[in-house]
Structure 1
Amino acid sequence: MDFKLLSEILEMIMIISFGVSWPISILRSLRARSAKGKSLLFMFFICLGYFCGITAKTIKGDINLAYYFYYLNVTMVMIDIALYFRNRKLDREAEAEKENK
């Protein structure tokens, strides 16, 4: 058995599994229009993990399909972070409007 190939396949499965969750999270952020229940710190640590994975693969010269999925995933997390800030602003506006009534 080729363990390098197996390792790459398992890494791809892991990245795709995580990657499936981000579009769902982005859709929920868009629909909810609220930052409640979101953790900015969590999303930053996820980004850090992806950047470390990208850096490790770059240093090793191990550029395969998984490498590009790291970029796709980190892009989706950054979109979710941007939505967090948009939704936090909407939360503040809703609170201010509620207080003015």
Structure 2
Amino acid sequence: MSVFEIIMLVCFGAAWPLSIYKSYTSRSTKGKSALFLVVILIGYAAGIMHKIFHQYDGVVYLYLLNFLMVLTDLLIYLRNSRLAAKTLEMPQ
């Protein structure tokens, strides 16, 4: 277990709750990129796989927590995209 890996994951993970909150309350996709979120998910998934298959330790739970937060943000992004599409479809 590397203390530096833990610090990195905690620092990266600290940003996601605020991002999730802003995405949820703004109901907008402005300033977000689904592609960026997917790339981040792939990175965390790779970290999880590495921990499971090569170097299992408790840090895998930090990777998993971060993965779930990014997935939540992506799902909110998709919800907000649908909300924006419905707004455009409504007659005025």
| Unaligned 5+ runs, structure 1 | none
| AA matched with 1:19 | G
Structure 2, unmatched stretches of 5+, are none
Aligned residues of 1:12 and 1:65 also touching (Cα < 8 A)? no
Matched, 1:25 2:19: yes
Pair member with larger Rg: 1
Partner SS for 2:30: coil
Q: Deviations over 1:19-45 (max 9, x none)?
A: 111111100011110112210000000
- TM-score, with length taken from structure 2: 0.92
Structure 2 residue 51 is matched with structure 1 residue 57 = yes
1:57 to partner: Cα distance: 1.4
- Whether the 8 Å contact between 1:50 and 1:74 is mirrored in structure 2 is yes
Q: What is the CA RMSD across the aligned residues, in angstroms?
A: 1.2
Q: Any runs of at least 4 consecutive aligned residues in structure 1 with deviations exceeding 4 A, and if so which?
A: none
In structure 2, which of residues 47, 51, 64 is the aligned counterpart of residue 71 of structure 1?
64
Q: Identical aligned pairs, as a percentage?
A: 38
- Residue 50 of structure 1 contacts residue 70 of structure 1 at CA under 8 Å; is this kept in 2? yes
Equivalent residue letter for 1:41: L
Pairing partner for 1:88 from 48, 71, 81? 81
How high is the TM-score relative to the length of structure 1?
0.85
